[in-house]
Structure formats: structure tokens, C-alpha cells
Structure 1
Amino acid sequence: MTTEARAALDALFAQLAITPVAIEHPPVHTVEEALPFWSVLEGVHTKNLLLKGAKGGLWLVCVPTDRRLDLKALAAHVGAKKFSFASSETLLEALGVIQGSVSPLALINDTANAVQLVLAKDMLAQPRITVHPLVNTATVSLTSDELVKFVTATGHSPDIVDFDTLASA
């Protein structure tokens, strides 16, 4: 992440009157690596996946770390034929972040509005959510309302999905 990207993130937080609770930690690439550091942060810890539709389109899916995803059901829900995981090149191009640093905060870099955000409904029902601030060497805790406010300010409209209903459909 460039210092410009971090400055833009901090500026948008300031503009929206959002003061996230933040921690710094060694680089983490998986949820398992991050969990020991996250234990000091209040909030639902997340996993974030950038998925590519078989016929194009990108979806950033943000769910609690313990959520199992039925990608077939999700693809049907959003109108995609099927999903594959986006390459690291696509991730960098679309969201300006590397693997391990993906989060809804990276939508600040999606000025073309090419990525559709999918948020888990049960996650948003919790008071706080933790995500990476464009790097995998820090994690921030935001209120659910602050996260949605931030995403909306980037010009994105999240698709809030009830994954329990989706799985049983």
C-alpha cells in the first residue's frame, strides 16, 4: 500500500467522523495466523474473498471467519453462472491490495465501481466488525454502521445476504 492510499483512507475516516480502534501486528496471510493478534480487538473477525464470475464481474464477499460459504448458492443469488477466486493480479488491479490485505476498506481504491460488495447479514447485526486497513500488518475495529457508512461513501451499495437462508434455499 502506498502512503497516498493510507492518507486517502485516513482522510475518508476523518470526513465521516470514524475513529477506528486499530492494532498493528506482524504480517498475516490467513485467518489462523491473525487470530492470536485479533483476540485483543472487539468485533466479529472477518474473512474476505474476491470472487470472479465465469462471465465477468467481481464480488468482494465479507463474512465472519467461521462462516462456511456455499459459492454455488451465492453465485445463483447474485446472478453469476459460477465463481472462481480472483488472481492476485486482479486483486491488485481492482482493489489496490495484495492477498491477505483484502477488506471492504479496499473499495476506496475501486473508483471504477467494478466490484460488488456482499456483506453477511448476521455479521452486520453485531456491534463491531474487524477488517484490515489495506495492509495485513494492521487490523481495525469499526461499528457495523461505520463500515456501511464507509462503503457507501466510496460509491458502493452492499448486497446484504442472509447466508443461513441462502444455504437452505
Structure 2
Amino acid sequence: MRGEAGLMEDLRELGIAHAVHEHEAVFTVEESRAIKTDIACLHTKNLFLKDAGGAFFLLTVPAEARVNLKGVPAQIGSKRLSFGKAEDMERLIGIKPGSVTPLAMINAEPDSIKLVLDAELSGDDAVGVHPLRNTATVTLAGTDILKLAERWSHKPMVTELPKLEA
């Protein structure tokens, strides 16, 4: 697994504009609210999921979105979804719960997990994600998240994930 050092190397090699913001450890969207005011970006949350057929998915969505998990399988071509286990997360993407990030795809074998990025996060606006640890936030364009995933031999999916009403 290439880890954070490999991530930073790839950001430099690809010339991807980014900023790293160090902060206290945050484990939930609720805890991250305190740091959001200091970091100008689209904030995110990530869902590590497994479908009834055994396939794994990593969904990255806007932080405040309430994803309709019952509607997601039809949207992404999967079977019924449930949350993945911590040991599967560590085995597949090399990180622990609380540090989930689309950038963990650097550690994933091709075709071992499908990255799904909500369409709202896929443009040129700055998106905030963890750099494989929950004590920092990296801001970079959503298009650059996709570029990195492709560099690591993944085929990310961009789609408007179904959401519940607020």
C-alpha cells in the first residue's frame, strides 16, 4: 500500500493544485462541523458499503446529504447494500473507520472496490477529503479526485445519488 506519502507524490507528479489543512481528529460529519468554517470547500462524507453479492463500494457525497440507501443499488448497478465491516475496509483500502476518503483508492487493487462520486462533487470546485487520516483535510478539485482514481487504475462512477428529503 502506497499510503499518504504515495498520495502526496502523485499529487506533485500530476501537478494537482491542493492544500492540506491540519486539524483535530474528526470521526463524524457532526464533529467536522467545527473545522468546516475554517476550510473553504465542498465538505464530504464517505460510505463504505457492501452489496448482497459481495461487491464493495465507496460512495463520496456532500457532507450534509442524507443518501437514500434503498435507491442507490438501482443507480449504481448493485444489489441490496449494507455498511461494510471495518476489517474489510482495512484490507481493501488500508484505512480505519473515521478516515474514509476517496483518496484511499490509492491502496485498493483495481476492481476490488468501486468508487462512486456524487455528481455535485465532480466539477472544478474545491472538495475537502481526508488524506488517509482524519487529522487533516486535503482540498482539491473534484475532477482531480477522478483523475487520481484513474491513475490508480480505477474506473470511478459519477452519478447523482438519490437523497432523502431534509
Task: Give me the TM-score of the superposition, normalised by structure 1.
Answer: 0.90
Offset at residue 72 of structure 1 (A): 1.6
How many Å separate the matches in 1 of 2:63 and 2:4? 25
Aligned to 2:102: 104
Partner SS, residue 144 of structure 2: helix
Partner SS, residue 70 of structure 2: helix
Aligned to 2:13: 15
**Is the CA contact (8 Å cut-off) linking 1:44 and 1:126 kept in structure 2?**
no
Matches for 1:16-165 after TM superposition, within 5 Å:
16-125=14-123, 127-163=125-161
Higher helix proportion (structure 1 or 2): 1
Offset at residue 66 of structure 1 (A): 1.4
* Cα shift readout 1:45-101 (whole Å, capped 9, x = no counterpart): 000011001111000000001111111211122232201100110110111000011
Identical residues among aligned pairs (%): 35
How many Å separate the matches in 1 of 2:46 and 2:114? 13
How many Å separate the matches in 1 of 2:118 and 2:75? 13
- One-letter code aligned to 1:68: R
How many Å separate the matches in 2 of 1:142 and 1:117? 17
Partner SS, residue 160 of structure 1: strand
Flag as ranges the 4+ runs of structure 1 deviating above 6 A.
none
- One-letter code aligned to 2:42: V
| Number of aligned residues | 165
How many Å separate the matches in 2 of 1:65 and 1:87? 21
Offset at residue 126 of structure 1 (A): 5.8
Q: What 5-or-longer segments of structure 2 have no aligned partner?
A: none
**Is the CA contact (8 Å cut-off) linking 2:51 and 2:78 kept in structure 1?**
yes
- One-letter code aligned to 1:85: F
How many Å separate the matches in 2 of 1:159 and 1:7? 25
RMSD over equivalenced CA pairs, Å: 1.9
Offset at residue 132 of structure 1 (A): 0.2
How many Å separate the matches in 1 of 2:3 and 2:124? 28
Does residue 5 of structure 1 match 2:3? Answer: yes
How many Å separate the matches in 1 of 2:161 and 2:53? 23
Q: What 5-or-longer segments of structure 1 have no aligned partner?
A: none
How many Å separate the matches in 2 of 1:152 and 1:109? 13
**Is the CA contact (8 Å cut-off) linking 2:124 and 2:143 kept in structure 1?**
no
